[in-house]
Structure 1
Amino acid sequence: MPIILIVIANVFYNICTKSTPESVNPFLSLMVTYLVAALLTFFLMLANGLNEGIVDAFKRLNWTSFALGIAVVALEFGYITAYRLGWNISIGSVVANILLAIILIPIGLLCYKEILTTNQLIGIFLCLAGLVFINR
Structure 2
Amino acid sequence: MWNYIWPILLVIGSNTVYNICAKSTPAEANAFVSLSVTYLVGAFLSIVMFLFTSSGKAYFPELRKLNWASVVLGASVVALEFGYIAIYRAGWKVSVGSLAANIGLAVILIIVGVIFYKELITFKQICGIMLCLGGLLLLNT
Q: Same fold (TM over 0.5)?
A: yes
Structure 1 stretches of 4+ moved >4 Å:
none
Which residue does 2:54 correspond to in 1?
49
Could you state the TM-score of these two structures normalised by the residue count of structure 1?
0.95
Q: RMSD across aligned C-alpha pairs, in angstroms?
A: 1.1
Letter of the 2:70 partner, please give it. Answer: S
Q: Residues of 1 paired with 2:117 and 2:55: CA distance?
A: 30
C-alpha distance after superposition, 1:33-88 (max 9, x if no partner): 00001010100000001564323211111000000000000001011011011011
Letter of the 2:104 partner, please give it. Answer: L
Runs of 5+ in structure 2 lacking a partner?
Answer: 1-5
Letter of the 1:76 partner, please give it. Answer: E
Which residue does 2:103 correspond to in 1?
98
Amino-acid identity (%)? 50
Runs of 5+ in structure 1 lacking a partner?
Answer: none
User: Which stretch shifts more, 99-108 or 2-11?
Assistant: 99-108
Residues 1:12 and 2:13 aligned together: no
C-alpha distance after superposition, 1:87-136 (max 9, x if no partner): 11011011111111111222100111111222222111111110111111
Size of the aligned set, in residue pairs, is: 136
Higher relative CO (Cα under 8 Å, sequence separation at least 6) belongs to 1
User: Which stretch shifts more, 115-124 or 35-44?
Assistant: 115-124
Alpha-carbon spacing, 1:51–1:117, altered in 2? closer, same or farther (3 Å) = farther
Q: Residues of 1 paired with 2:58 and 2:69: CA distance?
A: 20
Which residue does 2:116 correspond to in 1?
111
Letter of the 2:105 partner, please give it. Answer: L
C-alpha distance after superposition, 1:10-32 (max 9, x if no partner): 10000000001111111010000
1:16-27 equivalence runs, <5 A: 16-27=21-32
Could you state the TM-score of these two structures normalised by the residue count of structure 2?
0.92
Q: Residues of 2 paired with 1:115 and 1:5: CA distance?
A: 27
Letter of the 1:48 partner, please give it. Answer: T
